[in-house]
Chains A and B, each alone.
Chain A
């Protein structure tokens, strides 16, 4: 409409029509305007908030907002010779809009929940159960619906579980114990055949099957390699094993096996070293953070997002904060809420004071950055994460200067 215009108003023959209004974020609106065509997806179960996924795989929770005012939609009507005025046609009367709120979905927890559905039985009465009472299997469509994230995020999460798709197209998890056992077999087979440091799933699979003397899905071998390794560019199905990933996996299961009890860091390091496959044993010279377990080293260790470190107060030994004094208490980031405020409240409930280095591993997955670049240690991404974490901690807590000059964060609630 241009300014200084007069329009006649009529109502269409089909009034009121069923239109819905979706409130777009400025970023989403700009994204749509830059494209000629695109599709937004809304997924979710009846027991959850609906999730909207845009073409860049950003996720938003969808909420209904009711308004006491009336919203009327009108469009231009076809002009006629008898009507000198342009006419607007009344099409719909609306009292609610759909609002979007950007979210970071709890992918891993949801994924594990869905993948374990076929072993646990009926899944809390979702329509998925009712529709498929005969065969309880999770296929791509079910994953996409129940784990409402984009395909790339879902693929990364499936690698980390790990999970593999069988020949019938159904997703299956690999038991943690079998996962470690398979890894040990892979490492032993690699050494036995004197293959190079590159782990090729296509070579390992037949060798493992021959050793086991039993069928072994190729997809399971590939899933374990993807879980613990890094792909080699240009060489499909080839990986290099990452010691830190293996250590983190083993560390997580040590905590779970011991009922999430606290460990002295030195004892934990010993338990982890005992569990590590011998082919991946530390030679003391690597810089992957597996050799130092003092208080200051925990934020860089494989348990950086699995546990927090404390030093029990003992005036007689106050100066000694080595690994024999440091206590590791498990606190899994993967089980924390996806909301920054709730997560920070949980962190302060666990420990009253956090330094920036200690708290960053527990919040960095909430920052909208390339997580793989973060894992590689990209300087720009690290700075972005540090800034975002500082903003959150100041918003939901407060900063205090220690006598040492270091800034620590505490809760606003005394």
Chain B
């Protein structure tokens, strides 16, 4: 038999951000993205648009409210106090996401050649 408890404590909620992309974030560095610092920047604009910059790439996206909120859960270590086999804790309830559906655009002129855009 299996039983899972999902604990919710409002005082322990944190703020999470959810990003949805059609592609994936990858790097050639050994160890992957783990520990990589400031490899991208996200700019949230006033008109509900977001812009993600990774190196010479720019990808535009939008802020979309979620029809059904998402609860972010993390598995807890087995506690003797809990009668169930497994316990998860809700760390956040997310109500919107940044979705990037367009292809990234390369801004070589600005970044490499330092020339103004035409």
Are A4 and B46 touching (Cβ within 8 A)?
Answer: yes
CB contact under 8 A between A41 and B84, given known A72-B25, A73-B16, A75-B17: yes
CB contact under 8 A between A15 and B84, given known A40-B6, A142-B1, A145-B3: no
B32, B70, B88 — most chain A CB neighbours (10 Å): B70
The A8-24 residues at the B interface (CB cut-off 8 A) are 8-24
- Interface residues, chain B, CB within 8 Å of chain A? 1-11, 14-25, 32-46, 52, 68-75, 83-84, 88, 90-91, 93, 97
B11, B14, B19 — most chain A CB neighbours (10 Å): B19
Are A21 and B2 touching (Cβ within 8 A)?
Answer: no
**What is the total number of residues of chain A having a CB less than 8 Å from a CB of chain B?**
68
Partner-contacting stretch, out of A31-39, A331-339, A387-395: A31-39
Are B4 and A41 touching (Cβ within 8 A)?
Answer: yes
Are B41 and A6 touching (Cβ within 8 A)?
Answer: yes
Contact with B along A123-153 (1 / 0, CB 8 A): 0001110010000000001101110000000
Are A1 and B44 touching (Cβ within 8 A)?
Answer: yes
Interface pairs (13), CB distance under 8 Å: A3-B45, A6-B44, A7-B44, A9-B42, A11-B39, A13-B34, A18-B75, A22-B71, A32-B8, A70-B25, A90-B25, A131-B1, A145-B2
5 new A-B contacts, CB < 8 A, other than A25-B68, A91-B16, are A11-B33, A15-B33, A45-B2, A70-B25, A72-B18
What separation, in Å, do the CA atoms of A73 and B73 have in the docked complex?
Answer: 11
Is A155 part of the contact surface with B, judged by Cβ < 8 Å? no
CB contact under 8 A between A75 and B16, given known A4-B46, A13-B35, A39-B8: yes
B interface secondary structure, majority: strand
Are A74 and B17 touching (Cβ within 8 A)?
Answer: yes
What separation, in Å, do the CA atoms of A11 and B39 have in the docked complex?
Answer: 8
Residues of B within 8 A of A85 (CB): 41
What separation, in Å, do the CA atoms of A10 and B20 have in the docked complex?
Answer: 17
Are A10 and B6 touching (Cβ within 8 A)?
Answer: no
Are A127 and B18 touching (Cβ within 8 A)?
Answer: no
Residues of A within 8 A of B43 (CB): 5-7
Taking the nearest CB of chain B, how far is it from the CB of A315, in angstroms?
57
CB contact under 8 A between A17 and B34, given known A1-B17, A9-B42: no
Contact with B along A187-200 (1 / 0, CB 8 A): 00000000000000
